[in-house]
């Protein structure tokens, strides 16, 4: 898949990793369409990147996702790739009384159900393209969880599993299925994360990840070096060690 010549829809492209990837792909020649739930940051991103196009979208609203898919494919019949980047991470206290199940519902709806719904809505359109791609964004926490973000970690483990199955199911079609698994990156995903000295700088992550995504042979997984200890923790017998680093006693 030549992403530099693609027309790419990126959900959550108005901030963080999504905006970084959107700008990097646009600079390589791709036609980039972004969505965002926050109208102000969406407008600011579009103003800063005049070649991009934007739509306000709440990916947790199933009806909105369906109608949006109809609209965006009508507006952009050349659309042939989607990057499911929109996501949330909320720190949880499982011992709280009562435990806040609203966080659970919102996290699963955003991180898991939204990509499934949007893929389902776009799939007939993408199957008619000579070349197409579906890209999911999981996390290093899909492989070694962060226990105070247990629903986030579980949702990313689920999207990893779903991506593997989707890739197999689409193996005889024109659609390439790719998973990007970021490590801890310096963004505003959680309070203070952008200033965390342990986080990978956003610019460095985007540069390495987009270079991998745009390789001559499209990878099944985009894995920057920083995430490999998490991705390979079980295979290398280091799960306990990495788990302890992420979740100190």
Residue 136's pLDDT band (cuts 50, 70, 90): very high
pLDDT of residue 157: 98
Q: Which residues, 6 or more positions from 150, have their beta carbon under 8 angstroms from its beta carbon?
A: 92, 94
Distance CA 107, CA 104 (A): 5
Residue 189's pLDDT band (cuts 50, 70, 90): very high
Residue 75's pLDDT band (cuts 50, 70, 90): very high
Phi, psi of 133 (to 5 degrees): -150, 145
pLDDT of residue 193: 95
Residue 114's pLDDT band (cuts 50, 70, 90): very high
For residues 222 and 179, the answer to whether their CB atoms sit within 8 Å is yes
Q: Which of 3, 68, 143, 152 is catalytic?
A: 152
pLDDT of residue 68: 98
The ranges assigned to domains in the chain are: 3-246
Annotated active-site residue 152? The verdict is yes
For residues 44 and 93, the answer to whether their CB atoms sit within 8 Å is no
Tell which residue, 218, 243, 232, 249, has the closest CA to residue 5. 218
- The fold of 3-246 is Rossmann fold (3.40.50)
Question: What's the rounded mean pLDDT across residues 75-92?
Answer: 98
For residues 166 and 211, the answer to whether their CB atoms sit within 8 Å is no
Computed over every residue of the chain, the mean pLDDT equals 97
Residue 129's pLDDT band (cuts 50, 70, 90): very high
The tens digit of pLDDT for each residue in 27-56 reads 999 999 999 999 999 999 999 999 999 999
Q: What is the CA 136 to chain-centroid distance, rounded? A: 5
């Amino acid at each position: 898949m030549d992403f530099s010549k693609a027309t790419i829809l990126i959900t959550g492209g108005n901030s963080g990793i999504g905006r970084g990837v959107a700008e990097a792909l646009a600079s390589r020649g791709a036609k980039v369409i972004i969505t965002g739930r926050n109208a102000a940051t969406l407008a600011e991103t579009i103003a800063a990147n005049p070649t991009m196009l934007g739509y306000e979208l709440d990916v947790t609203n199933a009806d909105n996702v369906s109608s949006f898919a109809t609209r965006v494919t009508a507006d952009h019949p050349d659309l042939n790739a989607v990057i499911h980047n929109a996501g949330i991470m909320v720190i949880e206290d499982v011992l709280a009384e009562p435990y806040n199940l609203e966080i659970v519902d919102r996290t699963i709806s955003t991180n898991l159900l939204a990509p499934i719904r949007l893929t389902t809505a776009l799939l007939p359109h993408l199957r008619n393209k000579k070349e197409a791609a579906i890209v999911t964004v999981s996390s290093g926490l899909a492989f070694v969880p962060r226990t105070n973000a247990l629903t986030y970690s579980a949702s990313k483990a689920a999207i990893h599993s779903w991506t593997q199955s989707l890739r197999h199911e689409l193996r005889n079609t024109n659609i390439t299925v790719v998973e990007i698994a970021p490590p801890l990156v310096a963004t505003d995903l959680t309070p203070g994360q952008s200033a965390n000295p342990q986080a990978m700088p956003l610019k460095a992550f985007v540069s390495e990840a987009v270079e991998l995504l745009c390789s001559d042979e499209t990878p099944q997984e985009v894995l920057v070096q920083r995430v490999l200890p998490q991705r390979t923790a079980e295979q290398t017998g280091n799960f306990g060690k990495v788990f302890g680093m992420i979740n100190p006693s």
